[in-house]
Amino acid sequence: MIELNNVQKSYDGGTTLAVANTSFVVERGEFLGLIGASGCGKTTTLKMINRLEEPSGGEIRVNGRNVLDQDPEQLRRNIGYVFQGIGLFPHRSVAENVVAVPRLLQWEPDKIRARCEECMDMVGLAFDEYGDRSPSQLSGGQQQRIGVARALAAKPEVVLMDEPFGALDPITRSELQEEFKSIQRSMELTVVMVTHDMTEALLLADRIAVMREGVVLQIGTPRELLNKPAHDYVRDIVAMPRKRAQRLEELMHDE
């Protein structure tokens, strides 16, 4: 469970707020989508949860414990993270990338090896075939599968994702989205995912928080946002996928 309580972030000593008085709760096993335009503060909000950014004010609790009371490195090792740029270690093999966190946590070698095979199976890349390869020998989709496997290897309850599928081609993206959603359900992961793709947010998230200029305008289930938008911006952004679908429909009928 993740709780944000009046969280603020300012890079200039309080004159302007990159994130202003933000509060929300992500329940255990819930998938929250954090959506908004570039620069709206969604990534900053995400990074404050595992202290890649330090909050300027307010309180963040993960599983009931204030993150500021924890060693940042220990905190990060217990929270899965899937990066926008994938960020695999190019000098390490695929298998070494997957088990990076268990190694940091100093698991037993046998346990690490077993977990590596398990995680690679989970993302559909057989350990025997891919384990010894170098990340550069994988396709973009395969690399992000390994990115997901790395995030899950230490069995975290909480996973943070920063536009994880943004760089992938549409077919690979939708495959990975579906697979990840089923993994999330079966493992009851608590997930916060930053995205600017409303379709992705609607398809994956249990609830969506819409941010603009550092402020959460509305937070709710896809249905709530569609039916009762609290703000014009929310209405526009939530309506976008439907509008595009209608436009496609029209194009087909025109023929």
Partner 1 sequence: MSDNLREQLLLLPAYFQGHLLLTLAAITMGVLISVPLGVWAEQSARAKQPLLATVSIIQTFPSLAILALVVALLGGRIGFLPAFIALTLYSMLPIVRNTVTGLESVSSSVIEAAKGIGMSPRQILREVKLPLAMPVIVAGIRTAMVWTVGLATLSTLVGATSFGNYIFTGIQTRNLVAVTVGSLASAGLAVGLDSLVAAIQWLLEKRNEAVDSSRLRRIRLSVYGVIALVSAVALYGLLPQPRADFVVAGKVFTEQYIMAGLLAGELEQAGFMVDQHLGLGSDVLYEAISNGTVDLYVEYTGTIWANYMNREGNPGREAIRNAVVDYLDQQGVVAVGFTGFQNRYALAMRRDRAEELGVISIDDLLPYADDLLAGADLEFFGRPEWLRLRDLYNMDFAEKLTFDPSLMYTALVERQVDVISAYTTDGRVAAFDLLLLDDPRNALLAYDGIILASTKAAAQPAFMQAIESIVDGIPDQLMRQANRLVDVDGESINVAVEFLHAEMAKN
| Binding positions for partner 1, rule: CB under 8 A | 50, 52, 73-78, 81, 83-93, 100-101, 104, 132, 134, 150
CB of 44 to partner 1, least distance (A): 14
How large is the angle between the packed helices 109-122 and 140-152, nearest 10 degrees? 130
Residue 88 or 191 having the CB closest to partner 1: 88
Nearest to 225 by CA among 215, 244, 240, 213: 240
Residue 145 or 212 having the CB closest to partner 1: 145
CB of 86 to partner 1, least distance (A): 7
CB of 105 to partner 1, least distance (A): 8
110 residue type, one letter: D
d(Cα 133, Cα 142) in Å, to the nearest integer?
A: 12
Residue 6 or 74 having the CB closest to partner 1: 74
Strand ordering across the sheet containing 19-26: 19-26, 2-9, 57-62, 65-66
* Phi and psi, residue 215, nearest 5°: -120, 140
CB of 103 to partner 1, least distance (A): 9
d(Cα 172, Cα 223) in Å, to the nearest integer?
A: 27
Residue 147 or 214 having the CB closest to partner 1: 147
CB of 248 to partner 1, least distance (A): 34
Cβ neighbors of 28 (< 8 A, separation 6 or more) are 1, 157, 188, 190
Residue 8 or 70 having the CB closest to partner 1: 70
Residue 50 or 184 having the CB closest to partner 1: 50
CB of 160 to partner 1, least distance (A): 8
CB of 168 to partner 1, least distance (A): 15
Residue 144 or 218 having the CB closest to partner 1: 144
